[in-house]
Amino acid sequence: MEVKIYIATKAHLKYAQSICDLIESAAKARGTGIAKREPQYIEKKINEGKAVIALAGETLAGFCYIESWGHDKFVANSGLIVNPDFRQLGLAGKIKKKIFRLSRKKFPDAKIFGITTSLAVMKINSKLGYKPVTFSELTDDPTFWAGCQSCPNFDILTRNNKKMCLCTGMLYDPEAKARKKSVPVENPVVINVEPHTNLTQTHEQ
């Protein structure tokens, strides 16, 4: 079956409720406190052009959207969900790639980050160039951390002054990436030597 991944448009607003239901049932199944989303919020993200949707015909296969924090200095790709019927097929990786590219286009200077306990998400993020970091490297925007309140581990986060919890922080830093690319190659030391052996000599004589 063909699955198509789109940047969501008004044509996809009708999926808002199903997206919320999918997120809620996944949170219940995992026993995590993934924040409950309201359809109006999903619709807002779609209307802003900040969401990616995967469809198999008319069936909702997956979804993800962009959030920004700390005056757009930090961006998170949130609400990643894949319909259980379409899991383990590489779909989340493809959705994340599309939302990552959209995030880079819309917020080219922002650091892209996430916190997760999901091995699948860690693998996907690593492939996109995210690195594991301590929470000190992430946004200090209180509205982001307020989103953790519905998590059963929130007491651990608060006990540790929001410095650590059970989630792993992961960060894509465009500046670090650019620095790495432009690392100057040091001028080599040049010496003139006559090699002892004939370097063009081969074993086939």
Ligand X SMILES: CC(C)(COP(=O)(O)OP(=O)(O)OC[C@H]1O[C@@H](n2cnc3c(N)ncnc32)[C@H](O)[C@@H]1OP(=O)(O)O)[C@@H](O)C(=O)NCCC(=O)NCCS
By the rule CB under 6 A, 81 interacts with ligand X: yes
**Which of 88, 187, 202, 205: binder of ligand X (CB under 6 A)?**
88
Buried-exposed string 121-148: b where 16+ CB fall within 10 A, e elsewhere: bbebbeebebeebebeebbeeeebbebb
Stretch that binds ligand X, among 1-9, 26-34, 42-50, 133-141 (CB under 6 A): 26-34
**Residue at shortest CB range from ligand X:** 92
Tell me the site size for ligand X, rule CB under 6 A. 20
**Which of 119, 189, 191, 193: binder of ligand X (CB under 6 A)?**
119
From residue 89, give the alpha-carbon distance in Å to each of 3, 37, 84, 94, 179.
11, 25, 10, 10, 35
CB of 46 to ligand X, least distance (A): 19
Stretch that binds ligand X, among 39-47, 88-96, 168-176, 179-187 (CB under 6 A): 88-96
By the rule CB under 6 A, 35 interacts with ligand X: no
Q: Are strands 59-69 and 74-82 parallel, antiparallel or unpaired?
A: antiparallel
Work out whether the CA dihedral 77, 83, 89, 91 comes out positive or negative.
negative
CB of 166 to ligand X, least distance (A): 12
Question: Nearer Cβ to ligand X, position 59 or 116?
Answer: 116
Tabulate helix, strand, coil % of the chain (nearest 5): 40, 20, 35
Site of interaction with ligand X (CB under 6 A): 26, 30, 34, 80-82, 87-93, 116, 118-121, 123-124
